[in-house]
Chain A
């Protein structure tokens, strides 16, 4: 796959009053990729996507589409299109009229319009008999598909998604995530998706950009972001983690509250800060000599998480999370826990 840049952001800022909603974002989106922007609510992702679609203009910086500056090109003149969080279907039209609307705007004659709209319905897995159904009679999942079909009918260079799946139940969401990924592969289009759900991002994306407080804090493949988060924020956003405050002391990291010292993670600079370990990287010590500091605590809770069990261990005033495979032997309630230095992450604070 030729990796050609389709969309480029150069130092894009957006101010509302003197408050920055988006700050100095630079980004290159490659043709045909599924790029997801993840961040908590208020991180500026909606503001960012509105600028990318053309509903807002940047206060500073440039947005380039295939090398051309499009900052001030309004949404209706851009070859891109968005699936809204609210879906924004036209309530007074049928499914077919909704899907054919972008074609109508372009002045395509009714026959060709219908043929193309039907193609898009099929692509979005909507049965043909829905064509003449009022859109208000469709269920939540069907509306999603109508919105998607309508966006596909537009045949955009880039298709944007503003958390369209957030209102759906879990099962339907999973199904549509998969379908969306399939459609992206089938059509070879560039998808830019925003969500606050990391799980959603992980399933679908080729690359993920993590946003926090208006800034893009990390960009990378899902695995990379998961394994090597570059900040405490990203690592915590990726899921539940254990956070141990540590101070550097003679080549080791000392955790005051637990009274234990740990090795510095390989490749990391010795510094005061926090040591972060994922629950699945924690393990119970069963006799074998530990390679790192050992924490003693007491298991006071366990949760079943599908194929894994999560244990909550109380140690020195904090609660540690440890995850194990479900079928492995039950640990001793008076637990001794450790982790490999290479599975820990150190962030200065």
Chain B
């Protein structure tokens, strides 16, 4: 590897024809090229477009107008911060609930015999094969007034539960339900970093269950928990269908605002400005978490 790198500039300079130069490019670069191009075209380009558009005058459809800050000003003057706040709140509370709910499950799957762990994993992954919107609509049918739950209880006992949707807890429930695998699997990975004999040693040295959890298991599993938390936070920040179906518009999330800016509002610059803010927010969360995360340790390089 080093040899190639050292001789490369020299041979490039000497090469008289292009074909010879092409041959000097290491195989690794060729292999990385397709995904590199895809990322450039599919990830970086739209990102640049969004940022460009966010500085365009209201209601224009060209990214080459005269730059202006009015879209960002609008966000604060037109109370878009409310939907920002809701999205942030929903993402935070859902992530917190997901952590608490997933932890025992992750521990159970880690401890289960391989066969049973596989069955559990399949059960958890299976819903992912059905589109999210369809699953959420299923929940609406189940929880709504005169839905499966309400109707059954009423028929059996005469007692009326009424609608369990159209409220914030229903939205949180939806987010937790949909994103559970995204928290669970990184968590299982994190728990795999906790050697069983290290836990035994802690217990042998007199640690109570709680001390063992707090001092040994949690810190050692932290990378997995952090990754899961980050994943769930970032994707639930963009949650959309949960609020739309289970919340039925009781709150408006930022993703819904963005969607309506692009569609009903036909105001691409405003949608872009909102998107840019979401991206900055998510990026900040990732940055803060990654600063605390030792990637080397996570990949098992340390020690």
Contacts and interface: CB of A to CB of B under 8 A. Distances in A.
B303 A101 contact: no
B198 A105 contact: no
Q: Which of the listed residues B198, B200, B201, B220 has the most CB atoms from chain A within 10 Å of its own CB?
A: B201
Interface string B240-257: 000000000000000000
Contact of B200 (A88, A104, A154): A88
B198 A90 contact: yes
Contacts, number: 63
A91 B198 CA distance: 9
Contacts of A84: 197, 200-201
Nearest to B209: A76
A66 B220 CA distance: 37
Contact of A86 (B197, B211, B215): B197
Interface in B107-162: none
Contacts of A101: 202, 205, 207, 215
A180 interface: no
Which secondary structure characterizes the binding site on chain B? helix
Contact of B204 (A54, A90, A136): A54
A144 to B, nearest CB: 14
Interface in A78-134: 81-82, 84, 86, 88-92, 101-102, 104-106
Interface residues of B, number: 19
Contact of B220 (A55, A75, A91, A154): A91
Interface in B188-229: 195, 197-198, 200-208, 211, 215-216, 219-220
A192 interface: no
Contact of B206 (A89, A102, A136): A102
A12 B40 CA distance: 68
Given A90-B216, A92-B219, A105 B197 contact: no
Contacts of B197: 84, 86, 88
Interface of B: 195, 197-198, 200-208, 211, 215-216, 219-220, 302-303
18 contacts: A54-B204, A74-B203, A75-B200, A75-B203, A81-B204, A82-B201, A84-B197, A88-B198, A90-B202, A91-B220, A91-B302, A92-B220, A101-B205, A101-B207, A104-B215, A105-B205, A105-B208, A136-B303
Given A91-B303, A136-B302, 20 more contacts: A54-B204, A55-B203, A75-B203, A76-B206, A76-B208, A82-B201, A84-B201, A88-B195, A88-B198, A89-B201, A90-B198, A90-B216, A92-B219, A101-B202, A101-B205, A102-B205, A104-B215, A105-B208, A106-B206, A151-B205
